[in-house]
Amino acid sequence: MVLAIIGLLAAMLLPAMSRAKAKGQTIGCMNNIRQLHIGWALYAEENNDNLVPNADTGDLVGVTGGWISGNMASNLEEQDVRLMTDPQASLLARYVPQAASYRCPADRTKQVRSFSLNCRMNAWRDPKIGKPRWIEGRGTNHVVYQRLHDISVPANIFAFVDERADTINDGSFATDFSHTGHPEGIGVPRPYFMIDFPANRHNRAGNLSFADGHVESHTWIEPTSHPAQASLRTHTTATDRDVRWLLDHATEPK
C-alpha cells in the first residue's frame, strides 16, 4: 500500500518537475543570450559604434577574426572552448569570458556553442577567401548593418539566435533574401528557403536577442521548421510563416 502511494505521488510530481526543469532551461538560455548581447553592445560602444565583425566561415585552427571563431560542424572544433574564451580567437572573449554563456542549457549535444549572430550584422569574410555569403544577389536590396546606430528600429531586428545543432557551423546565422537558396544569390527566386534553422528546444520555441537589448522566446509554427533532421538550404513553401518572420526581423529594405 505504501509503495503504491509513493508511486502515485511520484507520477503526480514528475510532470511538474519536468515543466520546472524546462522553464529553468529556457530562462538559462535567455540569460546566456543576454550576456552575449551585452558583450556585443559593449564592443560597439568601445569601437566608435562599429559592430563586431561577423565571419561566415571557420577554419581548422579556429581563428577567423570575428565575434567568434570555429565551426561546430567540425569534429576538431565542436568541443574546443578556446574558440570562445581566447581573445585571439574571439573578439567577444574579453567581454564574455565564460564558456557556458555561449551554450543553451537545453542543448544535449557535445557542441560548445549553441548561438549564432544574424548574418546582417556586419557580415565579414577574409578577403583572401572571398565576399561574405548570403548577402549578395537580391539580398543587396536590404541593409547589412555596419554600425549599431544604423539599425533604425532596434526592437524589431534580432542579433543573436539559438540555432539547431544540425545546422550550426560558423558564427553567422544565414537568411536568404534572394530566395534562390544559393549563397551568392544566383538563380531563379523560389521562395522560401530556410538556410540555417533556429533551435526549437523550448517547447517548439527558440530564443533571440534584439538590437535594443531585449530577449524573447519565439515559437516556430511551421512543420518544416521542426524536421527530424535539418539540412542547410532547405526549400520550404511560398507561404512559410517562420521564414517570413526571420526575414522581417533580420534587416530592412534599403
How does pLDDT run across 140-197, given as a tens digit for each residue? Answer: 999 999 999 999 999 999 999 999 999 999 999 999 999 999 999 999 999 999 999 9
Residue of 205, 181, 184, 202 whose CA lies nearest to 192: 181
Type and span of the H or E element at 158: strand 158-162
Bond preceding residue 145 cis, omega within 30 of 0: no
- Reported pTM: 0.91
Q: Kindly provide the b/e burial profile for residues 89-127, where b requires at least 16 CB atoms within 10 angstroms of the residue's own CB.
A: bbbbbebbeebebbbbbbbeeebbbbbbbbbbbbbbbee
Type and span of the H or E element at 36: helix 2-46
Q: Which three cell numbers, joined as nine digits, stand for 39?
A: 558583450
Per-residue pLDDT of 79-133, as tens digits, reads 999 999 999 889 999 999 999 999 999 999 999 999 999 999 999 988 877 889 9
- The whole-number average pLDDT for the span 29-51 is 98
Contact 250, 120 (CB under 8 A): yes
Return the pLDDT at 60. Answer: 46
Type and span of the H or E element at 2: helix 2-46
Q: Which three cell numbers, joined as nine digits, stand for 34?
A: 543576454
Pairing of strands 123-124, 54-55: parallel
Contact 89, 82 (CB under 8 A): yes
Contact 193, 243 (CB under 8 A): yes
Contact 81, 112 (CB under 8 A): yes
Domain ranges in the chain are 25-248
**pLDDT value at 237 more than 60:** yes
